[in-house]
Amino acid sequence: MKERNFDEWLSKFKTSISSYDYYIDFDKVVRNVDEIKIELNILNTLIGSKNIESEFVDITAKYPETLKCIPLMLAVRSTEIYAQDEEGIFLYNFKNKNYDIEQYIIFMRKTGLFNIIENHLVNNLVDYALGIETGLDSNGRKNRGGHQMEELVEKYIKAAGLEKNKTYYKEMNLADVEKKWNIDLSKISNAGKTVKRFDFVIKTDNMIYGCETNFYGGGGSKLNETARSYKMLSQEADSIDGFTFVWFTDGIGWKSARGNLRETFEVMEHVYSIDDMEQGIMERVFE
């Protein structure tokens, strides 16, 4: 393989790999709201109410399950909510009511929920819940972003003719690699003290490849730590016959940590970008 130029390699890193479903998982959003849709529609009768407290008492007495909707209305994913004021400390349970209803009225008033409902600041609590679920789901983008790089790498692994659970394996623990192929990887597990899981393990006739994947659209201290740790992992793997560490990474976030990435690039033979995969590196490495 010809010698590579780091600056040229880095210049081809991608700004984003986000697919359409990266932003919001609407199937999940709708599914979560559907689970409490009936209860939300019951609470809809409180919108614009002139006697919201007494009506709230009546509704929760007849339909106590409506209480379970309240945490979501505050964008909280829990059946319990902690609150304190000059009157004391409270841990409200909205699955199994643990205070008199009067205390829940205080909660609804002090959190502002009664205000937006009785003053008709929302028109429909189902729509309101959909909006909150959408906002909460946006917090899952980080996890989806990590999985996107894995999915992209797997696409190229398959295109290279490798078969899942035959010639490549997903999320495989180091201990399982040792057991399956009778190989000693203690040099990279600190004699078994370190628990390590590879995103992919690829097995060819002559080599076992442990692969890591990541994509960084933004900078941060984690990038320097990642580059240093993978440099060390690669050097440790080089001392093991029959095992090679491979790193697939990309993202313009690396431009803020180019120094550490350069150090790793210069000593690590098998570090590749999306552009490398597009140019057929899988076929050349895993032949």
Please tell me whether residues 135 and 148 are part of one structural domain: no
Please tell me whether residues 133 and 85 are part of one structural domain: yes
Cα 11 to Cα 38: distance, rounded to the nearest angstrom: 53
∠113-119-123 over CA atoms, to 5°? 85
Strand blocks (E) in 205-261: 208-215, 243-250
- The pair of structure tokens assigned to 161 is 């003719």
Output the pLDDT for position 21. Answer: 80
- Model pLDDT for residues 64-112, shown as the tens digit of each residue: 999 999 999 999 999 999 999 999 999 999 999 999 999 999 999 999 9
Confidence of residue 287 (pLDDT cuts 50, 70, 90): confident
Res 217 pLDDT > 90: no
- Model pLDDT for residues 54-65, shown as the tens digit of each residue: 999 999 999 999
Rg of the chain taking only CA atoms, in angstroms = 27
Rounded to the nearest 10 degrees, how much is the dihedral formed by the CA atoms of 156, 162, 165, 169? -50
- Model pLDDT for residues 174-206, shown as the tens digit of each residue: 999 999 999 999 988 765 556 789 999 999 999
Res 143 pLDDT > 80: no
- The overall average pLDDT reported for the chain is 93
Q: Which domain holds residue 190?
A: 6-20+140-285
69 Cβ contact partners less than 8 Å away, ≥ 6 residues apart: 36, 39, 40, 43, 125, 129
pTM above threshold 0.75 = no
Helix (H) or strand (E) holding 228: helix 221-237
Output the pLDDT for position 141. Answer: 75
Output the pLDDT for position 200. Answer: 97
Q: What b-and-e string marks burial along 12-37, b requiring 16 or more CB atoms within 10 Å of the CB?
A: ebeeebeeeeeebbeeebeebbeebb
Output the pLDDT for position 231. Answer: 94
Cα 115 to Cα 46: distance, rounded to the nearest angstrom: 11
- For residue 259, CA distances in Å to 7, 123, 224 come to 11, 54, 8
Output the pLDDT for position 115. Answer: 97
* Residue 201, Cβ density class (10 Å: 0-12 exposed, 13-18 middle, ≥19 buried): buried
Please tell me whether residues 163 and 271 are part of one structural domain: yes
Please tell me whether residues 209 and 273 are part of one structural domain: yes
Cα 88 to Cα 105: distance, rounded to the nearest angstrom: 15
216 Cβ contact partners less than 8 Å away, ≥ 6 residues apart: 223, 249, 250, 251, 252, 253, 254
Please tell me whether residues 84 and 13 are part of one structural domain: no
- The pair of structure tokens assigned to 182 is 């009778």
Judge whether 1 lies within some domain.
Answer: no
Cα 33 to Cα 132: distance, rounded to the nearest angstrom: 10
Please tell me whether residues 118 and 179 are part of one structural domain: no
- The pair of structure tokens assigned to 219 is 């900078």
Please tell me whether residues 16 and 144 are part of one structural domain: yes
Task: Give the type of residue at 267.
Answer: V
- Model pLDDT for residues 240-261, shown as the tens digit of each residue: 999 999 999 999 999 999 999 9
- The DSSP letter of residue 164 is B
Q: 95 near 79, Cβ under 8 Å?
A: yes
Please tell me whether residues 170 and 274 are part of one structural domain: yes
Judge whether 281 lies within some domain.
Answer: yes
Please tell me whether residues 249 and 110 are part of one structural domain: no
Helix (H) or strand (E) holding 263: helix 258-267
Output the pLDDT for position 140. Answer: 74
Please tell me whether residues 133 and 56 are part of one structural domain: yes
Q: HSE (CB half, 13 Å, CA atoms) of 42?
A: 20
Output the pLDDT for position 41. Answer: 98
Q: How many domains does the chain have?
A: 2
| Nearest CA among 262, 282, 283 for reference residue 11 | 262
Judge whether 144 lies within some domain.
Answer: yes
Structure-token match 């990474």, residue found: 249
